[in-house]
Amino acid sequence: MAEYDDEPTGSALGFAKGFGLTFSNMFRHVATEQYPFDVKKTAPRYHGRHVLNRHPDGLEKCVGCELCAWACPADAIYVEGGDNTEEERYSPGERYGKVYQINYLRCIFCGLCIEACPTRSLTMSNEYELALDNRQDLIFTKEQLMAPLLPGMEATPHPMRLGDTDTDYYVREKGLGEVGDIQSTANAAAKTHSGRAQAIEVGRHHA
Ligand code: SF4
Ligand code: SF4
């Protein structure tokens, strides 16, 4: 400021300096993005909306352990576990996520929940369009977060199709149901939510 204090108000030099600054900025690269008409693709590892993934037969990966909720620094996740029975099975093993909610008014998209998940049920997509006009709608339910059924998957509840025990789901041959499947599931879920086909990818570390 000191260098401008010396300039007499309205002097030619003062005007030249002021307009010089304006003109120099007129030729700089414009950073304005024409959202929502021009939606930019995010970085592959961008932390966006969560997805609850499925096994290749459609059973849910969530076992209702609540580790994601305990890991969350913003207290944004609420989980209630339920017991599977042979007549009504939602996931391999004993338990499944009966109630699952994420409060996007609280979430800071830090990703600690997906790191804590032992079954890789919870992942994050690149979907970021989460602005809504009322608070209630920003509490996403299990139904909203569940990945859609892809070809070959069956709606839950149903018996285990990939083996007789949960071990057959979690200790599997290398390459079977690995990242590729999870990515396609998460991508499809995010597309379902936003209706947009672009800007949806899941980084390998999210799977
Ligand atoms: S991304 Fe972070 S703040 Fe959001 S639900 Fe997961 S742990 Fe909580
Ligand atoms: S999403 Fe993962 S960490 Fe959270 S309750 Fe389900 S299995 Fe446990």
CA of residue 116 to ligand 2 center, whole Å: 8
CA–CA dist 187, 181 (Å, integer)? 10
Atom of ligand 2 nearest to the CA of 100: 5
Per-residue pLDDT band for 175 (boundaries 50, 70, 90) equals low
Domain segments of the chain as ranges: 50-206
Contact at 8 Å (CB) between 107 and 75?
no
Quote the Cα angle for 180-184-187, to 5°: 135
Summarised one tens digit per residue, pLDDT across range 55-83 is: 999 999 999 999 999 999 999 999 999 99
pLDDT at residue 194 greater than cutoff 80: no
- Of 25, 140, 27, the C-alpha closest to 77 is 140
CA–CA dist 72, 107 (Å, integer)? 8
Summarised one tens digit per residue, pLDDT across range 104-126 is: 999 999 999 999 999 999 999 99
CA–CA dist 64, 204 (Å, integer)? 24
Summarised one tens digit per residue, pLDDT across range 24-36 is: 888 898 888 899 9
Write down the pLDDT at residue 204.
33
Per-residue pLDDT band for 50 (boundaries 50, 70, 90) equals very high
Atom of ligand 1 nearest to the CA of 116: 7
User: What is the CATH number that goes with domain 50-206?
Assistant: 3.30.70.3270
Residue nearest atom 4 of ligand 2, based on CA coordinates: 68
Main-chain dihedrals φ then ψ at residue 171, nearest 5 degrees = -115, 95
Residues whose CB is less than 8 angstroms from the CB of residue 26 and which lie 6 or more positions away in sequence, other chains included: none
Sequence letter at residue 190: A
Return the higher-pLDDT residue of 174 and 32.
32
Sequence letter at residue 25: N
Q: Best of 49, 51, 67, 77 to mutate for ligand 1, by most ligand atoms within 8 A of CB? A: 77
pLDDT at residue 4 greater than cutoff 80: no
- Of 101, 95, 102, the C-alpha closest to 64 is 95
Question: What pairing do the DSSP bridges indicate for beta strands 77-83 and 50-52?
Answer: unpaired
Write down the pLDDT at residue 40.
86
Sequence letter at residue 76: A
Residue nearest atom 2 of ligand 1, based on CA coordinates: 110
Residue nearest atom 6 of ligand 1, based on CA coordinates: 113
| Ligand 1 and 107: CB distance under 6 A | yes
pLDDT at residue 155 greater than cutoff 60: yes
Helices (H), 32-161: 67-71, 112-116, 142-145
Question: What pairing do the DSSP bridges indicate for beta strands 122-124 and 77-83?
Answer: unpaired
CA–CA dist 166, 56 (Å, integer)? 13
Residue nearest atom 6 of ligand 2, based on CA coordinates: 62
| Ligand 2 and 119: CB distance under 6 A | yes
Write down the pLDDT at residue 162.
93
- Rounded to two decimals, the pTM is 0.76
